[in-house]
Structure 1
Amino acid sequence: MTTDIDAQGNPPPYDSTKSPSDLNNHKTGLATGAAEPRYLYYRVFAPDGAIPVKTVFDPANPYVGRITARSVPPPHNVKSLQRCLLNAERFSDPDHLRTDLYQAAGSNYPAGSGESVAIVNPTYGATPETPFALVHKERLMQAETEEVQAIDVSSRCENHPNYVYYRLYTPIGEDTSKESFEPTEPSVGRIEWSFVSPPRSSSSLTHRIAEVEGNPRYRFAEVYQDISAQQELQRLAFKPGNDLGSLESPLVLVQSERRRGLLNRPAKVTRLVYNIEIAPGGCFRGGEVVYTDGVEGWYHKYNCTLRKNDPQHRSAYIDIDYLELLDE
């Protein structure tokens, strides 16, 4: 009997003559050793959006990968599938602290580690159009970034992408978008909906826009529903087909104002810092978020709610050498 798996266990190359349903309408081979395997499809995301995968099967889309279903060891749950995807992508996350697995890219919450995953007759991940989503909670490490950047994405071509449209502003006026497509509207850009990291919220949206615009200040921009809105959107549950981010009414992103005394710039503590003014514990932990005006050489920690410009705050200070500004 012939097989379509090579000696190294790699899936066969993409065959454009087979539809997604053809690729999965086979015996599983989990017990019988059948020649034609079933596949599980997935995407990978960083906080700033989708990243190309290492198990590309269709040269036209390096952002969707697949593994054979029978490569997932029992018990078939989120944890075992996540381990297999991490291994396929060569990411290190033994305790599953760096990544989450979403049953679908449009899911609002990650799946629980013990949650069952259907492998024999999958509901999710069965086709390239319904992939799982492996999502990194923080930025990739340098070595991982270098590996991702080495993947060729020049052949990517999507015939009918879904777009989110947006308009950019600085605190003093319109900005020019690098993704502008209309000469008379240079501040209006667009991104593909499928590239926004789950859960698709205002935060993941602004992070993706900041990435394509090459401007980190937009990661923490204020988001408004349209140009006439008076209040910032506090929560954006973005789904394709709704009125948010349409061509006729783009979302509006406004860079936060920067000036002395306005403590609204987020920064991450890079190492353990002791400070006797802080209670309880007397320390800032590595990875903790603090806020600053970015002007003084000292930094302010908000109360436990970590809300921007919260008047009910307490002051404590950290030297600049112990911080990484997240908006530059």
Structure 2
Amino acid sequence: MALRRFGTIFSKSSTKSSDEERSRLGRLPTYRTSLTRAPTYTTHAAGPSRSTDPEIDANLSAITEMSSVDMTSAAETSSIAGTITEATVRSGPRCVYYRLYTKDGAIESYNAIYSNDRSLGRIDAKDVAPPYTVILLKNFLCRIEGFKTSDNSNLYLSVPSYTPMEDDTRLSLVATSGPGLYEHEPVVLVVDSINEREAVKSSREKLRTKTNVGEVRYVHYRLYTREGALETNSPNLTSSNDHFLGRIFPGSVSPPHTAASLKAYLCKIEGFPSTENATLYLALSSQTPMEDSTHLSLLGQSGPGFSEHEPMALVVPSRRRSVSGPKRPLKKYKPEHDPHYVYYRLYTKDGAAKSRTSFNKGDSSLGRVDTLFVAPPHTLSSLKCHIATVEGISTLDMQLYEGASNDEPMIDDQRISLLATGYPGNNEERPMAVVYAVNKDPWKLYTLQHPTFTKKIQVTRSHQPSRKGWLDVKADEVLLTDGVETYTSWSPGDIYARYGYTAVNSAGKVGFVYGGKPSTYCKSYETSYR
């Protein structure tokens, strides 16, 4: 009997009658787990279709119908490519789970259901006005979250989706299956900005609150400037004292998950006002940064930054931050990994010099740096810049040799595999040689502490703000800067941005000066100082 029924189901005549009957009864499409076929939703960008053959889809739907009649269990089983997953079908009122974001990352929902995952909210599907379309669901979510309905907000079918759904797409919200059915597969609302959010009474008291969301996957990363590693604002201090290794919950990154959205979120939590000139590397060993449009798999069981031993790397142009990290008890850094060092001997033109990183009292010219503190890409230039920073010397008249017996210095753009085993200086018995020139030029002395300040600017208009963090400057005064335009505010309550540069004056004082729009106080003095 069972074989006869399956044979009938796969016949064309039965398929046609099943489709007609289902159309007459107005049955809605069945959503199951993330591994189960779902109807194709039209998005802003063309992509691979979820359905390939209408007859096959009809047969699969018929099998699902028969299974729902013959099986009374609350668990349904789906199998694709040999993988079997059991998912519990929700009983009782149909809910829609969603996550809330701006373009900079996750924000707290007024309908949060977890105290430690507040961007995840849920609503009763019956509260959405029919007909159930993307635009109506989007407008309802915006309203209950305190946002004005806007063409700039987007609704995604799920967190991993790369393109938003079209506004006129029909949704199945009141059936026992549909988008946002499971809390681990929520729909996603991305709003334009949080600045104009209105206070709305939360409906959280109507919902059951949980405090445990189970095991979560993190994205690990290390933070750098060109000079070397920076402490992160988001360390994992529960199991590590490494303040240079950060981690984030990937659900906090705004969809679509690309290198650009991840970079924007990391810059935000690390206190950098802009992603301009910031670069993101897939791994510490990567030689080229990722393109902003690169798609990233952040929510799977594997992906970039999945392991703290293989973190991603964010390289920012300056140490200047707009947000400081939380105050933490100071601990002496002790690497929990097996450290790999670059050993080198420090020389001037007159002979051996004392190294600031010396670890042997009987051999003061022998120094070393941890390879994890050298910024990607790992080239001789990045290694030279890091050594110059820790030694307080300038890269202007500095040369690196593979060994003291070598006659020719190494080339700046030469690649060095610092995470491998055979890089130059990997053994203290065969250290590299660093030769630098002692120079008493005051400008060059300032670059010892600020190796990236290589450009001169000239003040065109006197300005004495006498404020913390600002430089008092006079007309025609020459300053050194890194050439990266930044901005700050005049006071904590000031809503207007002041554009300019972080610079050092002839007295060695560092601070902010006007240099860009809307008012120009400085001009380029020369292309490059060094």
AA paired with 1:42?
Answer: Y
RMSD: 3.7
Q: In structure 1, what is the equivalent of residue 401 of structure 2?
A: 224
Structure 1, unpaired ranges of 5+: 10-27, 274-285, 289-320
User: Which amino acid is the alignment partner of residue 5 of structure 1?
Assistant: N
Q: Does residue 120 of structure 1 match 2:299? A: yes
Partner of 2:116: 5
Distance, in Å, in 2 between the alignment partners of 1:131 and 1:92 is 23
Distance 2:221 2:233 in 1: 11
Structure 1 residues 135 and 267, CA gap change in structure 2 (3 angstroms):
closer
Superposed counterparts of 1:299-318, under 5 Å: none
Counterpart of 2:307, as a letter, is T
Report percent identity of matched pairs: 26
Matched, 1:70 2:251: yes
How far apart are 1:245 and its partner, in Å?
1.0
Preserved CA contact (<8 Å) 1:222 1:256: no
Superposed, which structure 2 residues align to 1:1-328 within 5 Å?
5=116, 30-31=184-185, 35-36=213-214, 37-58=216-237, 59-93=240-274, 96-121=275-300, 122-136=302-316, 138-141=317-320, 143=321, 147=324, 154-159=331-336, 160-213=338-391, 215-218=392-395, 221-234=398-411, 235-239=413-417, 240=419, 241-246=421-426, 247-256=428-437, 258=439, 267-270=454-457, 322=525
Q: Take 2:436 and 2:326, find their aligned partners in 1: how far apart are those partners? A: 28
Letter in 1 for 2:383: L
For the pair shown, which has the larger CA radius of gyration, 1 or 2?
A: 2
Q: Which runs of 5+ in 2 are unaligned?
A: 1-112, 121-181, 188-211, 442-446, 448-452, 461-480, 484-523
| Residue in structure 2 matched with residue 12 of structure 1 by the alignment | none
Distance 1:195 1:71, change over 3 A: same
Deviation at 1:324, TM superposition (A): 11
**Distance across 1 between alignment mates of 2:343 and 2:114:** 46
- Map Cα deviations across residues 66-118 of structure 1 (whole Å, 9 max, x no partner): 1111111221110011111111112111xx32310011111111111001111
Q: CA deviation at 1:175?
A: 0.8
Question: Over residues 102-150 of structure 1, what are the superposed CA-to-partner deviations in whole Å (9 max), with x where a residue is unaligned?
Answer: 11111111111001111122432001111111101x3323x55x93796
Partner residue in 2 for 1:318: none
CA displacement at 1:30 relative to structure 2: 5.0
- C-alpha displacement of 1:204: 1.4
1:238 partner amino acid? I
Q: Is the 8 A contact 2:233 2:326 kept in 1?
A: no
Question: Would the aligned equivalents of 2:416 and 2:423 in 1 still touch at CA under 8 Å?
Answer: no
Contact 1:62 1:153 in 2 (8 A): no
Cα contact 1:102–1:134 (8 A) shared by 2: yes
Q: Is the contact between residue 47 and residue 197 of structure 1 (CA under 8 Å) also seen in structure 2?
A: yes
Specify the code of the residue in structure 1 equivalent to 2:244. Y
Contact 2:235 2:243 in 1 (8 A): yes
Letter in 1 for 2:258: N
Write the letter of the residue equivalent to 1:179: T
Q: Which has the higher contact order (CA 8 A, sep 6+)?
A: 1
CA–CA distance in 1 between the matches of 2:271 and 2:525? 30
TM-score, with normalisation over the residues of structure 2? 0.43
TM-score of the superposed pair, with normalisation by structure 1: 0.67
> Is contact 1:271–1:287 with CA below 8 Å preserved after alignment?
no
